[in-house]
Amino acid sequence: MNPLEHLLRAGHAEPGQALFEDADRSLSAAELMEDAAALAAALRDRGVGRGDRVGIALGRGLDAARAVYGVLGAGACYVPLDPSSPPARLRHIARAAGCRLLLGRGGTPGWAQGLDWLDPAAASTTAPAAPPVAVRPEDIAAILYTSGSTGTPKGVAIPHRAVRAFADWGRDTFGLDSGDRIASLAPLHFDLSLFDLFTGPAAGATTCFVPERLKLAPARLVDWLAGQRITTWYTVPSLLGFLALKGGLAQRDLGALKCILFAGEVFPTARLMTLAEQLPHTRLYNLFGPTETNVCLYWPVRRERLRADRAIPVGVPACGAELRIDPASGELQVRGPCLMAGYWRDGAPRPVFDEAGWFATGDRVSRNDRGEYLFHGRLDRMLKSAGYRIEPAEIEQVLNAMPGVSGAVVLGLEDAVSGTRLAAAVAGDGLGQAALRAWAAERLPAWMRPAYYVLLDSLPVLPNGKTDHQRLRRCIEEELAACPTT
Amino acid sequence: MQEEIRAFIFSELLFVDDPAGFGDEDDLLDAGLDSMGIMRLVLFVEERFGISLPDDELEPDNLRTLGRLQRWIERHR
């Protein structure tokens, strides 16, 4: 069944129920159906059909929600293209996904030259309205491009089966219904947005888009949450930590806020305790899983078990996931309905599972005596910053491509206030900080750009010829300590 | 104080080609200062100068330029 039909047929949403809201407009279930069906007809008119990919270059909001359901209504899959990313990256992703058409505002931007571009507001069609195209559970609903360890962005292909499993699990686990109001702040290309876009409608709840500027004004954001009577919010620990410190939470009436879910990075326990104290009546949940599995573990926060010097568990299986731990490496392996179909390459999802269907996450875990899973870090070099996942190899590939660079290594530096920050050690001739920054800014989104650069004549190597990461880390820390910062 | 804040911003939070040429009324947010940067900046100012900046006033208009930030801090010294 198509997600569009599912909306009303499942009986969760009444036709008049508001499913999406922004500052001054709302979109009812019936209006969403109608708008999405019109866009789907316009897409079909342009040759888009089942199995095709359609890029969505729109920021969070009602138009993006219409576009997502319109693309799915046509039987196609959507590919978020974050409008704030550098043009070169957007072009790369649109081409790698093989997008048949791109949806965005206004005329075709420079990076999309040669690709079909459609402004949904200007879309008109002579095609007769038709019912949503039937999709199968294994058809792809979305391809989310995330940082790739091979040096280029990697497309995680998420089938309808996984979207459905996550939407239904969220609705049932958090007890959501048509009385709930969900705050949405996650950009479309970030997997947290799947909750806002699909779990909300599956529960017949209202997803409310947070005005972008409130991210920079914590007390106003808290006022907004209170004024909108938000009941449920899925966001990242770094932003919640900001609110706990500077949001004036204790002075506001957040009695409506039943539930906060967080994921994307480790929540420092001391900061979580500050948040928990200020929100005594809000249930808190730690959600866990890479984009490839979406949420495969969760832990309902038990306040009495929080200790400032102990990391919180990632908890118990979620979304019907089966989990096991590789005895040799301690690696978490996952299979089940929430799993991706594979990485998108050359027109199809390429599975990366073993013969029994297990996906190796690269996360190191163990279980405590209560049977809960604990997270101990990565087996590879992947980093997390402000909820985003970052593969150092992708940044290194960009820096290595710069003329004059003979080698580059990117490391994460831990920072008690804002989590991981990126440092790049770059070797080569005639390099300058400003030129390196400018080079990175043209090719990488803001969250992947190194904060610090250390210039070296050559990278230190181990006797076996490999780069000596430990020595490099000491080099970087010494050089930054010597910087006249304050 | 102005110079210390400037040094902190341009060595820890924001990287521009020519920090010395960044004017007191140039826009820090347009230059890339984000929410985590703002949090670090406010915590730095509070700790370094022993002041408390009210949560209610933490908004872009009070810190989108070095000049505005300076005036905001002055009101609470």
Domain ranges of chain B: 2-13+23-74
Sorting pLDDT into bands at 50, 70 and 90, what band is A115?
very high
pLDDT digits (tens, 9 = 90+) for A37-58: 999 999 999 999 999 999 999 9
Q: For the structural domain made of B2-13+23-74, what CATH number should be given?
A: 1.10.1200.10
More confident: B62 or A6: B62
Closest residue to B11, CB basis, from A213, A419, A485: A485
pLDDT of residue A11: 60
C-alpha distances in Å from residue A63, one per residue of A21, A124, A133, A315, A467:
11, 15, 21, 36, 47
Phi, psi of A154 (to 5 degrees): -115, 130
Nearest-angstrom CA–CA distance, A175 and B22: 51
Is the model's pLDDT at A485 over the cut of 50? no
Write b or e for each residue in A336-358: b if 16 or more Cβ atoms lie within 10 A of its Cβ, otherwise e. bbbbbbbbbeeeebeeebeeeeb
For chain A, list residues whose CB is within 8 angstroms of any CB belonging to chain B: 213, 215-220, 238-239, 241-242, 245-248, 386, 417-419, 433-434, 437-438, 446, 451, 483-486
The nearest CA of chain A is from the CA of B75 a distance in Å of 18
pLDDT digits (tens, 9 = 90+) for A190-243: 999 999 999 999 999 999 999 988 988 999 999 999 999 999 999 999 999 999
Most confident of A126-135, A285-294, A382-391, B19-28: A285-294
Q: For the structural domain made of A3-377, what CATH number should be given?
A: 3.40.50.12780
pLDDT of residue A486: 35
The mean pLDDT of chain A is 92
Location of structure tokens 């529960």: A203
Contacts of A221 in chain B (CB under 8 A): none
A381 burial type by CB count under 10 A (0-12 exposed, 13-18 middle, 19+ buried)? middle
**Contacts with A193 (C-beta within 8 Å, 6 or more apart), sequence order:** A60, A80, A184, A186, A187
Contact assessment for residue A230 and residue A208, using Cβ atoms and an 8 Å cutoff: yes
Which uninterrupted H or E stretch holds A268? none
pLDDT of residue A362: 95
**Contacts with B3 (C-beta within 8 Å, 6 or more apart), sequence order:** none
Which residues are A461's β-sheet partners? Answer: A467
Closest residue to A248, CB basis, from B17, B43, B55: B55
pLDDT digits (tens, 9 = 90+) for A413-428: 887 666 788 999 999 9
Mean local confidence (pLDDT), A451-462: 88
Closest residue of chain B to A212, computed from CA coordinates: B35
Contacts of A246 in chain B (CB under 8 A): 39, 42, 55, 58
Closest residue to A246, CB basis, from B4, B12, B39: B39
Mean local confidence (pLDDT), A333-350: 97
The mean pLDDT of chain B is 90
Contact assessment for residue A444 and residue A152, using Cβ atoms and an 8 Å cutoff: no
pLDDT of residue A132: 87
Contact assessment for residue B32 and residue A450, using Cβ atoms and an 8 Å cutoff: no
Say if B71 is an interface residue toward chain A (CB within 8 Å).
no
pLDDT of residue A390: 92
Phi, psi of A204 (to 5 degrees): 70, 20
pLDDT of residue A418: 65
Closest residue of chain A to B16, computed from CA coordinates: A434
Domain ranges of chain A: 3-377, 391-482
Say if B1 is an interface residue toward chain A (CB within 8 Å).
no
Low-confidence ranges of chain B (pLDDT < 50): none
Mean local confidence (pLDDT), A430-436: 88
**What does the DSSP 8-state code read for residue A118?**
E
User: A391-482: what CATH class?
Assistant: alpha beta
Closest residue to A417, CB basis, from B15, B39, B58: B39
Closest residue of chain B to A247, computed from CA coordinates: B55
Strands A140-146 and A154-159, bridge-based pairing = antiparallel
pLDDT of residue B1: 81
Strands A419-428 and A452-456, bridge-based pairing = parallel
Closest residue to B7, CB basis, from A213, A220, A486: A486
Give the pair of three-digit tokens for residue A152.
């280029």
pLDDT digits (tens, 9 = 90+) for A259-274: 999 999 999 999 999 9
pLDDT of residue A213: 85
Nearest-angstrom CA–CA distance, A71 and A141: 9
Quick check: A242 and B11 CB within 8 A?
A: no
Closest residue of chain B to A250, computed from CA coordinates: B55
Phi-psi region of A340 (alpha: psi -120 to 50; beta: other; left: phi over 0): beta
Percentage above 70 pLDDT, chain B: 100
Give the pair of three-digit tokens for residue A239.
């932003």
Quick check: B36 and A238 CB within 8 A?
A: yes
Mean local confidence (pLDDT), A392-407: 93
Mean local confidence (pLDDT), A151-172: 95
The nearest CA of chain A is from the CA of B4 a distance in Å of 6
Phi, psi of A434 (to 5 degrees): -65, -40
Q: Please, what is the angle between helix A218-227 and helix A237-246, to 10°?
A: 100
pLDDT of residue A484: 47
